[in-house]
Amino acid sequence: MNLDFSPTDLAFRDEVRSFIAEAYPADVRAKQESGADLTKEDYLAWHKILGAKGWSAPSWPVEFGGTGWTPVQKFIFAEELAFAGTVPILPFGMNMVAPVIQAFGTEEQKARHLPPILKGDVWWCQGYSEPGAGSDLASLTTRAVRDGDHYIVNGQKTWTTMAQFADWGFFLVRTDPAAKKQEGISFLLIDMKTPGVTVRPIITLDGAHEVNEVWLEDVRVPVENRVYEENKGWTCAKFLLAHERSGIAGVARSKRGLEKLRAVAANETEHGRPLMQDPYFARKMAELEIELLALEYTELRGLAREGEGKGPGPETSLLKIKGTEIQQRATELAMEAAGPYAAPHLLGADEPGDNALAIGPHHARGVADTYFNVRKTSIYGGSNEIQRNIIAKMVLGL
């Protein structure tokens, strides 16, 4: 695979870079720089701008509104977004439920749900994890009982990211409790405004409201909102998780983070010596950058496979493992670079942006928040231990 950028690719990179510089919302940028909380409208603003440009879904097939870009162009686009520090397009609609609808949905479901996802008009959330079924997802107990042309759904989901903003959610529910664990599960699309759906916040250690509990009490869901066959939802779930794991790797944003960290470490500290002159820190930086480079090539091979019309394979598990490990180690190095200024902030700040560390050097701002938040990446999307089991089975044949 030729990884050199062609003149066409370089021209495309310049086009993307110019567009971001001109079109990215100034008010969203200001909030990001101040550390203020972003609203639902802030997240969707950039999505809508990309949607109007026709650039919101690089990974989608062209017939559904995808860009038709080459794997290298997709890679360049992701890198430019990361280097510009844009708000990411949230994956729940674009990269998770949309591929499932494209692959398994009816024509009516595609026509109803894909255009709003593409344009950024609808916010989705994921109803997978339960209090007793996180990494062991097949142990879920949320029940859906058929009642004519509806299902009656009862149960609880947890760690539901951004459900407080969601218009729709995709949920795994058990429709045959007598079947084996991976069988008897169905994949439902649920309007979050349906009576009986209650979203309750889970406030994390940093005082943020990112995740939630979702309670489903006698929720009536039309049978037409079931994707694929009844009791065959596990097929959809596995397909979706493969796409999710590819995105979790976050290679481009890790590259940007390490570049910023290297620049910080090259400056003089309060003791007068740049941190990069510490051989132990420099060695850890070099090791991490080498691992990230190897992961980047693995991602490019995956993009090439996608460009050949092949779906995500077991390499997504490797991307997920190494990508999240690199993210976590990068935040550990950022904490080390910030030194005592990395101490977690006090909760209950009065002004927007105060939850970003208000004292010390600029690079220490929010570093503790990021460190704690990234601890979860090796768990969601299927824990890294489970990913190793997948690799052992599908690649090594164990």
Measured CA to CA in angstroms, residue 210 lies from 95, 367, 377 at distances of: 19, 17, 14
Helix (H, G, I), strand (E, B) or coil at 96: helix
Q: Supply 75's token pair.
A: 């890679």
Percentages (nearest 5) of helix, strand, coil residues in the chain: 55, 15, 35
**Which one is catalytic: 79, 80, 130, 244?**
244
Q: 14 is written with which tokens?
A: 């310049």
DSSP 250: -
Alpha-carbon span 122 to 166, nearest angstrom: 8
Cβ(367)–Cβ(206) under 8 Å? no
Cβ partners under 8 Å of residue 64, min gap 6: 57, 98, 102, 110, 114, 118
SS3 for 338? helix
Q: Which amino acid is at 193?
A: K
> Which alpha helices (DSSP H) does 105-232 contain, by range?
107-119
Rounded Cα–Cα distance for residues 214 and 140 (Å) = 14
> Is the CB of residue 124 less than 8 Å from the CB of residue 166?
yes
- Is 244 known to be catalytic? yes
Residues marked active site are found at 244
